Amino acid sequence: MSATFANSLRARDGVVSIGESTAGNVLSFRVQAQEVWDVVRIDARPSESIRTAKMYALNTLIPDALFPDEFSVKLNGCEIFDESISLSRAGVLDGSTLLVARRRRRPVRS
């Protein structure tokens, strides 16, 4: 399965670009927000931080999220505790999906 195909599944139209990209030096990945069950596609340099990707995704998917530190980022089911590391160092590849979820569960109101 190609990264282009994987990134297009259940994703919003358009792509969020982070920073200036140079030819051939761009990671294409997805960020899914568990709270809204929505996905945004992101193109970024491998040297961009996890935190930067999380901020761009939150601004797109959950614009009223006032406190970004309330959200964790997971890759392949494992939380990335140090969000200052680069995407490449964290193991993000073309076609990867980062999951952004609240750290604490919220009560369900009926």
Task: Write the pLDDT tens digit of every residue in 36-69.
Answer: 788 999 999 999 999 999 999 998 888 887 788 8
Are 27 and 65 within 8 A, CB to CB? no
Tokens 């140079």, residue located: 22
The pTM of the full predicted model, rounded to 2 decimals, is 0.77
Sign of CA dihedral 83, 87, 92, 94: positive
Region of poorest pLDDT, from 6-15, 54-63, 76-85, 87-96: 6-15
Q: What is the rounded end-to-end Cα distance, in angstroms, of the chain? A: 41
| Domains of the chain, CATH where assigned | 3-102 (3.10.20.90)
- Average pLDDT in the chain: 82
